[in-house]
Every structure is written in structure tokens, then in C-alpha cells.
Structure 1
């Protein structure tokens, strides 16, 4: 890839990730609150709904920053990657406790989903040059 095409690919990845995060955050706050509660690990000291709402606000902020914050792009990439690492225990809890949500209604589906979190971390870092 040329430098220009690499730059375009990174921009596309960053914008798509930002839009996906923003969309997920909006669903945390609205139509999918119940489904997201299935991912809140038992060890989280907050009420599951409070956790879902707080993570939704963070996702909207991170998604918006990925799309809009040009001068802080690398910092936002590191923060987004850290966020994906921080929410991984929720994905793990959903698998370990056999909790259905988002069509993940078998242990095999819940287990397969675990492998997508490192991909999100990698895209956050790569697309922002972090």
C-alpha cells in the first residue's frame, strides 16, 4: 500500500470504529439496555443498569472523539483500546455465566465473540496511529 492508501484505510477504519462505538453507545442508552445488562460482571459494584448507562456515555464520547478529535487522535486511540480491554471482563462473564444477549445464545457463540475484542483493540491503535 502507498502512504496515501494507508492513510485512507486508517481514516476509514477510525471513522467506522467511531461510528460503531457511537451507535453502540446510543443503544446502551436506549433500546438495548436489557441486553447489555447480561454483560455486566457480578463483581462490578454498581447497579447493572447504571453500569450500562455509564458505558454507553463513554462509548458515545469515544466514538465521537475518534471521528472528530483530529489533534488528539493518538490519545483517543489509546483510550479506546484501553476501554475495549476494560469491558472484556463483561464479554467473559457473559460466556462463563451462560447469559444470552445479542443473539449470543450458545456457549460456542459467546466464546467465539471473545476473539473479536483483540481485533477492536488493534483497530483502535492502528487506525489512530497509536
Structure 2
């Protein structure tokens, strides 16, 4: 029950984020590292990836599709981490420090939790609740 609730909540979160990426890309373009090529296309495709991952994670018919979506969303969270770091650096360089440490530090710690949550809620991993077998 807890895993299902977490899975559906995460799917809803990623679905909303995907819609926002597509409908309102400007905030994401502002935090994109300069070394990323074709930033508009990257934001569009990350939105599409979030939507597809959310749909795959939310569906209850195919465990292989759910697991693939979970792995995809976990990898997505790793891949967008440079943009989060860039946003942190850009904000702290502003005169008023932008959103500040109270926003950015928890966000940095949340990223690995999102990776784990995608994998756990999607049924890819059991940790930490199931003991390891040797």
C-alpha cells in the first residue's frame, strides 16, 4: 500500500513537472548550464521524458514497463542534477541570493531521494525494507 501511494504520488509529481517543462520552459532555460547544447530541445525532451516516465510508473498492468519507467526516472534525476547545481550557483551569486540556502540545500539532498524513490516505488529495489540474501 505504501509503495503504491509513493509510486502514484511520484508519477503525479513527474507528470506535473513534464507539463510545466513543455508549457512554460523559460524557468528551466534560465538554469540550464551553458555547456548543454540545444537547450530548448533539451527542456522539451526532458518534459516528454517526465510525462512518459510518469505514465509508465503510474500504470498497473505491466511490471516490466513500470520498472523501466522507474529506472528511466531515476536516471533522469541524475541527469538533471547539473542544472540544479547550476541553479544553486546562479542564485547564490545574485545580490539577494535568490531562493537562498533554505531552498537549495534541501533540493540538493532531495535529488538522491528521488532516485531511490523512483527505484523503490517502481519495484526495482527493495532496500531498505527487505533483508539482503546471500
The alignment yields a C-alpha RMSD, in angstroms, of 2.0
Q: Which residue of 1 aligns with 2:32?
A: 40
TM-aligned CA deviation for residue 26 of structure 1: 0.4
Give the Cα–Cα distance (whole angstroms) in 2 for the partners of residues 111 and 42 of structure 1.
22
Report SS of the residue matched to 2:41: helix
Give the Cα–Cα distance (whole angstroms) in 2 for the partners of residues 87 and 126 of structure 1.
20
TM-score by length of 2: 0.79
Q: Are 2:54 and 2:69, in contact at CA under 8 Å, matched by a contact in 1? A: no
Give the Cα–Cα distance (whole angstroms) in 2 for the partners of residues 55 and 80 of structure 1.
10
Write out aligned runs for 1:24-103 (5 A). 24-30=17-23, 32-46=24-38, 48-68=39-59, 70-72=62-64, 73-98=66-91
Matched positions, count: 118
TM-aligned CA deviation for residue 116 of structure 1: 0.9
| Farther-moved stretch of structure 1 (49-58 vs 15-24) | 49-58
TM-score by length of 1: 0.81
Aligned structure 1 segments of 4 or more residues deviating by more than 6 angstroms: none
Give the Cα–Cα distance (whole angstroms) in 2 for the partners of residues 60 and 74 of structure 1.
15
Q: Which residue of 1 aligns with 2:107?
A: 113
Deviations 1:71-113, CA, capped at 9 Å, x for gaps: 322222112111111111110111122289xxx9234122331
**What are structure 2's unaligned runs of at least 5 residues?**
125-134
TM-aligned CA deviation for residue 45 of structure 1: 1.3
Q: Are 2:53 and 2:73, in contact at CA under 8 Å, matched by a contact in 1? A: yes
**What are structure 1's unaligned runs of at least 5 residues?**
1-7
Deviations 1:26-84, CA, capped at 9 Å, x for gaps: 01111x311111231111111x2222111111111111111116332222211211111
Q: Between the two structures, name the one with larger relative contact order (CA 8 Å, sep ≥ 6).
A: 1
